Structure 1
Amino acid sequence: MDGPGRRRAAAQGGLVLVGSSTIRRWRTAQRALGPYAPLQRGVGGARSADVAKHLPELALRHTPSAVLMFAGTNDLADGRSVQSVVDNVRCVMQQLHSAQPGTKLFYAGITPTPSRWSIWADQDAVNQAIQSLAAQHPSIVYIDTVSALLATGSPPDEAYFVDGLHLNAAGYALWDAAVINTVRPNMPDVAFAAPVGPPSGSYLRVDLGPSNAEDGAQAPSVDDFGIRWNTWHTLQGGEQALAGEALRGLVTTTGAITEVDLVLSGGFRANGLRNGGLTSPSGDKLGTLAVWQATADFFYTGDPDDPGGLMLSGLSPDARHTLRLFASRATDEETRITRFTVEGGEEAVSAEVTTTGPDIGEGGYDGNEGSLVVFTGLVPDAYGRLHLDVDRAAGAFAYLNLLELEVE
């Protein structure tokens, strides 16, 4: 997530989110914490010791006004002591104070889970110790992410988890409420300059997928139609693109540089050429979107470890936008349908497209050749953001090959 251009620019005085996979999988973080310009820096499997050791890279360099931390459960599961976790949290506190006195640390309590119920006593002991610290130090605030889950049972109801350990959408709804209710009275909103956004009539195109020769290709900066593209960073087929990574300063199809960023709010994996990408797109079906480097590879999601979400920021909240999405992956194994949901300043809207299945295309082709999902009249939220979730509606995987944003 720290490669050239990959890191989203942090808002001065924003909120940096650090910790383990609960942070990395938190697809709704950008919406839940919008007023605080959250920056996701979660790392799967991270322990509190890892957060303390790497805090300068994870958080301090972003000069946040607050850091939200969820870590400690992996330490305890690995056999570390309660005191070692508490000491690591103290270390984080001290580093924040040394770098910028007054920086708040929000500590999200270690959540009880069915799969780690056997160590709940130790997890609770950590939570109690952090609550005691918070009572003594105004710079640390404890977030009670525990009570709502325990209200469902002891151990908590499996219905709030994807695998007995990681939260699902229902679990994150409880988590979001606890976090918002604690952050809101303890952190001022970030001072946003209202985004101007690209002018009416602008178009921006983004090619998503891997770049290694065996699995994908990056769309040319200027294609055969004379249209400019934005392409995802260097990525190998099968690798993850992580929440918090970004394409910054997207250019329009005519080459104008904008302040629009594409930020991943939920991770994806990438694949393409060797796995059913559309290598011979038809201009009759896709028009000028028929650029093989863009249609032949894709981002995909199918595992909860890759929640599949992105955000477009830097848009004018006063403008309406059209979003066009193309998704395709050919195989006759099963029918696969992707559901896209867009949320901004108005009610969320959803649409589905069949990406995959036996003979769904011309001449027995087993993938989508020309069906676009098109959302019109989209209004960004007050911070100039549109949020896109990518989910499976049927089958094992959901896909996104390319997108086009039009300012109406």
Structure 2
Amino acid sequence: MKKYLIALLILFISFSVTAQQKPFWDEIKAFRTQDSIQKPEDGMILFIGSSSFRLWKTAKEDFQNETIVNRAFGGATLEDLIYWQNDVVLKYKPKKIFIYCGENDIASSDKVTPEIVFDRYKKLHTTLRNHFPEIPIVFVSIKPSILRWSMKDRMMAANVLISNYLKQDQNTVYVNIWDKMLENGEPMKDIFIEDKLHMNSKGYAIWKKELYPLINE
């Protein structure tokens, strides 16, 4: 019995160390804490993905929808989203799922091709659809930005691959936000904060216009 308890303790310590070494553990731990205090009610609008969602602090007010639950974490790639999917999406019972992710995959390395991004997204989407066969899924396209404009070709190609793939799923919507954020073929200059990557209120106003009907229909 004593050996059994020691083995369990070692296993627990090993798991804890592994989790803490994984990127975004602090963010995931914060989500767990929030859920332990007040678990989101079933039927929520769930945002998952990276910082363009995470930093949308006024989402509930913008969409006049108090059911929005934001489980995006800054810097996340599709691989990170897949790794933490049990914590940020699978354990909930949402009405709709909105995804913004893939941009950081491209930015992480020149070796990450559009095909790699697509394969990662397809893996995530397959898991979500198996777990939530009837729930609408909305994918917001990778956005353009001044900082990452040199990566535009890979980003646009990834958007095309994902968009074409989602046409086979009638309960999925692809939102082309890319074109809406361009002016004269380049990213608008006044819709970003100083880092030229993340959006200001003018940028989010563009997203709001495109997503409002999907969130509140």
Q: What's the TM-score once normalised by structure 2's chain length?
A: 0.78
Q: Is 1:174 aligned to 2:172, yes or no? A: no
Higher helix share: 2
**Greater Cα offset, 37-46 or 133-142:** 133-142
* 3-state secondary structure, aligned to 1:159: coil
In structure 1, what residue type is equivalent to 2:104? N
Partner of 2:55: 25
Do residues 76 (structure 1) and 106 (structure 2) align? yes
* Counterpart residue identity of residue 2, structure 1: F
Determine whether 1:9 maps to 2:39: yes
Unaligned runs of 5+ in 1: 186-408
1:41-190 equivalences under 5 Å are 41-79=71-109, 80-150=112-182, 152-162=183-193, 163-185=195-217
Inter-partner Cα distance in structure 2 for 1:113 and 1:19: 17
Residues in 1 aligned to 2:89 and 2:78: alpha-carbon distance in whole angstroms: 14
Matched AA of 1:58: V
CA distance in 1, matches of 2:69, 2:128: 16
Distance of 1:36 and 1:119 partners within structure 2: 36
Amino acid paired to 1:161: F
Q: What's the offset of the Cα at 1:65? A: 2.6
CA distance in 1, matches of 2:61, 2:151: 32
C-alpha separation in 2, matches of 1:89 and 1:112: 18
CA contact (8 A) 2:31 2:71 kept: no
CA-to-aligned-CA distance 1:269-296 (integer Å, 9 cap, x gap)? xxxxxxxxxxxxxxxxxxxxxxxxxxxx
Q: Residues 9-408 of structure 1 correspond to what in structure 2 (within 5 A)?
A: 9-35=39-65, 37-79=67-109, 80-150=112-182, 152-162=183-193, 163-185=195-217
CA contact (8 A) 2:102 2:142 kept: yes
Q: CA deviation at 1:31?
A: 2.0
Identical positions, percent: 24
Greater shift in the superposed pair: 2-11 or 71-80: 2-11
Deviation at 1:11, TM superposition (A): 2.5
Looking at structure 2, the residues matched to 17 and 50 of structure 1 have their Cα atoms a distance apart, in angstroms, of 15
How far off its partner does 1:6 sit?
Answer: 5.5
- Structure 2: gaps spanning 5 or more residues: 1-29
| Higher normalized contact order (CA 8 Å, seq sep 6+, divided by chain length) | 2
Which structure: larger Rg?
A: 1
1:51 positional shift: 1.0
Mapped partners of 2:172, 2:81: distance in 1: 16
Q: Who is 1:332 aligned against?
A: none
Q: Shift of the alpha carbon at 1:170?
A: 0.7
What is the alpha-carbon distance in structure 1 between the residues aligned to residue 162 and residue 66 of structure 2? 23
Kept in 2, the 8 Å contact 1:105–1:141? The answer is yes
Count of residues in correspondence between the two structures: 184
Q: CA RMSD in A?
A: 1.9
Q: CA 1:56/1:182 → structure 2, altered by over 3 Å: closer, same or farther?
A: same
